Amino acid sequence: MINDRIKASELSSVLSSVRACRLCEDLPLGPNPILQLNPEAKILIAGQAPGRKTHHKGIPFDDPSGDRLRDWMGIDRDVFYNDSVIAVLPMAFCYPGTAKNGDLPPPIKCADHWRAQLLDLLPNIELTLVIGQYALDWHLDKKRSCTLTEIVSQWQDHWPRVLPMPHPSPRNNRWLKNNPWFSSDVIPMLRGKVKSLL
């Protein structure tokens, strides 16, 4: 119990520093760190970086991607935004800007500076959803040696503590159509695991 109180105190201090972070002052919309953490959380969503809508709202996954992710998990918004259950820790905390074919990659300096110490303050995580190529590279140390499809198709190698996933963005509708096994095989297992942790 004392250790949990220390972790909570440490997390509160680090979160204050994260929210004041200005490592990326040069971002197109400026810094606006967005994450959701609590040392009691059992599920970690390790995503990419907030999108433009999220930047303006200040709420992680409050967009169509979040709607699909909550559906995949079999939960509603109240559960999703309960930080004592679910932590949301993207690879970069601020919107990185837009490239020709979507958002820019999350700046690596964010993860280099913050990620290890924040993960250390989440002692109760029992399931980590690793979403998208950049998060997969970091969490599974793949360094692009495999395609996203190859990594996700080997999800059982990491289950039940880690689940590699495609991004739930509507931009991935074609991927989901081309890989129906994800919906038929993986989603039911995910929903069952999430339900067991609630």
Q: Please answer whether residues 198 and 85 qualify as being in contact, where contact means their C-beta atoms are separated by less than 8 angstroms.
A: yes
Domain membership of residue 17 as a residue range: 2-197
Does an H or E element contain 110, and which? helix 108-110
Residue spans of beta strands (DSSP E) within 38-131:
43-46, 86-88, 98-99, 102-103, 127-131
CATH of the domain at 64: 3.40.470.10
Encode pLDDT of 70-99 as tens digits: 999 999 999 999 999 999 999 999 988 887
How many domains does one find in the chain?
A: 1
pLDDT confidence band for 107 (50 / 70 / 90): confident
Task: Count CB neighbours of 21 within 10 A.
Answer: 16
Q: At 103, is the pLDDT very low, low, confident or very high (cuts 50, 70, 90)?
A: confident
Least reliable range by pLDDT among 80-84, 105-109, 138-142 = 138-142
187-197 vs 64-73: helix axis angle to the nearest 10? 80
pLDDT digits (tens, 9 = 90+) for 168-188: 999 899 999 999 999 999 999
b/e code 73-82 from CB counts within 10 Å (16+ = b): bbbeeeebbe
Q: Quick check: 104 pLDDT over 90?
A: no
